[in-house]
Amino acid sequence: MASSARRRKIAILGSRSVGKSSLVKQFIENQFIDSYYPTIEVAYVKSIVYKGNEYVLEIFDTAGQDEYTPINSQHAIGIHGYVLVYSIASKISFEMIQIIHEKIIDFSGLTDIPCVIVGSKSDLESSRQVNASEVQQLAQTLKAGWIEASAKNDVNVGEGDFLVSPAAPTSHSPLPLAFWLAKAFQLCVQEIEKRLNPSNQQEVKTGRCIMM
């Protein structure tokens, strides 16, 4: 690992059984386990390359929360960003996102928390209880990124990519466009970097689109 790698600590929070551990396992170990084992607290480390820079992510998978679960210091001190997870098949788990966000704000005393809201179990479309529009609205209010993902089908969990637009260059746009397609954990890094290194995030402010 290059000594210039940036270390970022990420905590994953959300209601019980929404798929937090499954998202982490899919991201770190490329596997999905159907059985349910409640998490106590597990930490993982993974290196990724994000927009040409190396990052060492320390990811803290936490026990499921309810409205009475307090935020403890491990969830807040030294944490750079949060992945807040609900299940698209559970409205109650979605409502917990705002409650957890408020608890982090109260605990940390910060007003702006780098976080991404992840709608897990996106393969359960027929049981959907949360629409994209309501998540979008909440994400706007919390200044958060958001994405839907499925640990089961490995959708939006692995590493992000650049996608070069197939559109032929035109006189208005003489160069091909490249879009950064970030996935759940890269979106969290993106939210962190927006706050820590705002000068490097020009492309984020312009709709995640850069000219190549």
Ligand X SMILES: Nc1nc2c(ncn2[C@@H]2O[C@H](COP(=O)(O)OP(=O)(O)OP(=O)(O)O)[C@@H](O)[C@H]2O)c(=O)[nH]1
Matching residue, tokens 């049981």: 127
**d(C-alpha 132, C-alpha 116), whole Å:** 14
Our CB check for ligand X shows the closer of 17 and 108 to be: 17
Distances (CA, A) of 24 to 63, 69, 108, 120, 195: 13, 21, 24, 12, 24
Find the shortest distance in angstroms from Cβ 88 to ligand X.
9
> Using an 8 Å Cβ cutoff, are 85 and 16 in contact?
no
Find the shortest distance in angstroms from Cβ 127 to ligand X.
9
The footprint of ligand X (CB under 6 A) covers 14, 16-22, 34, 36, 38-39, 63-64, 120-121, 123-124, 150-152
Our CB check for ligand X shows the closer of 42 and 178 to be: 42
Find the shortest distance in angstroms from Cβ 123 to ligand X.
5
Query: Ramachandran region of residue 149, left (φ > 0), alpha (ψ -120 to 50) or beta?
Result: beta
Find the shortest distance in angstroms from Cβ 179 to ligand X.
25
> Using an 8 Å Cβ cutoff, are 14 and 100 in contact?
yes
> Using an 8 Å Cβ cutoff, are 25 and 32 in contact?
yes
**d(C-alpha 127, C-alpha 16), whole Å:** 18
Find the shortest distance in angstroms from Cβ 176 to ligand X.
34
CB-based contacts of 137, cutoff 8 Å, min separation 6: none
Find the shortest distance in angstroms from Cβ 121 to ligand X.
4
Our CB check for ligand X shows the closer of 11 and 151 to be: 151
Burial of 206: CB neighbours in 10 Å, binned 0-12, 13-18, 19+: exposed
Our CB check for ligand X shows the closer of 65 and 204 to be: 65
Our CB check for ligand X shows the closer of 17 and 98 to be: 17
